[in-house]
Structure 1
Amino acid sequence: SFDSFSSTLGLRARAPVMVGRLPVTLSGLLGWQHGFGDLVPTTTFAFASGSTPFTVAGAPLAADALVVGLGVGTRLSETVDLAVRYRGQIASGVTETALQANLSVRF
């Protein structure tokens, strides 16, 4: 087993704007993330048939990283919302990016 956790210190902002007659919400995140504990996760496994145990190391976690995020969302109708978000974590030797799109329909 391994134990790790992280803290993030930064700024998160959100601003509603109108694009024509369409209400749009812009959002952003800029922060510093610090990792604590076991930053290289490892786990030991063995096959049920009684094989010799072996250790697998996971991707190392960054001790310090820049975290950025950008998002845009809108209400297309009374029952439909659309949002697109980007989040990135940039550190020495490690880059992690994610793009997320959400379509919410209420009924």
Structure 2
Amino acid sequence: SWKDPLQCDMEVVSLADNPDFFALSYVWGKDPEDYEILIGGHILQTRPNLYTALRRIRAHTKGATRALWVDALCIDQANTRERNHQVDFMADIYSNCSQCLVWLG
């Protein structure tokens, strides 16, 4: 249901393997990271815009499992080197996804 906690697992894949995944494009916003997502048993704080987008996606897919790439979740934002490296791949990520989902808030 809408109020159930957001939970997901993390998996490392290579674009060279042509994975089937959706990519989410959204506005981060400036609100504080007051919302929780459970990823592989670990709590990650996130901003309300991403939290709401993920809830809407879950409601739309009716709970079906789906691979989803989200920059705030898939890139270690505290690691500048990784973040800069991954930003270089974002065009490849968005051009190779099965579907790009856009959340305007």
Please indicate the TM-score interval, normalised by the length of the shorter structure.
Answer: under 0.3
- After TM superposition, the score normalised by the length of structure 2 is 0.23
Q: Greater RCO between the two (CA within 8 Å, min separation 6)? A: 2
Identify, as 1 or 2, the structure richer in strand. 1
- After TM superposition, the score normalised by the length of structure 1 is 0.23
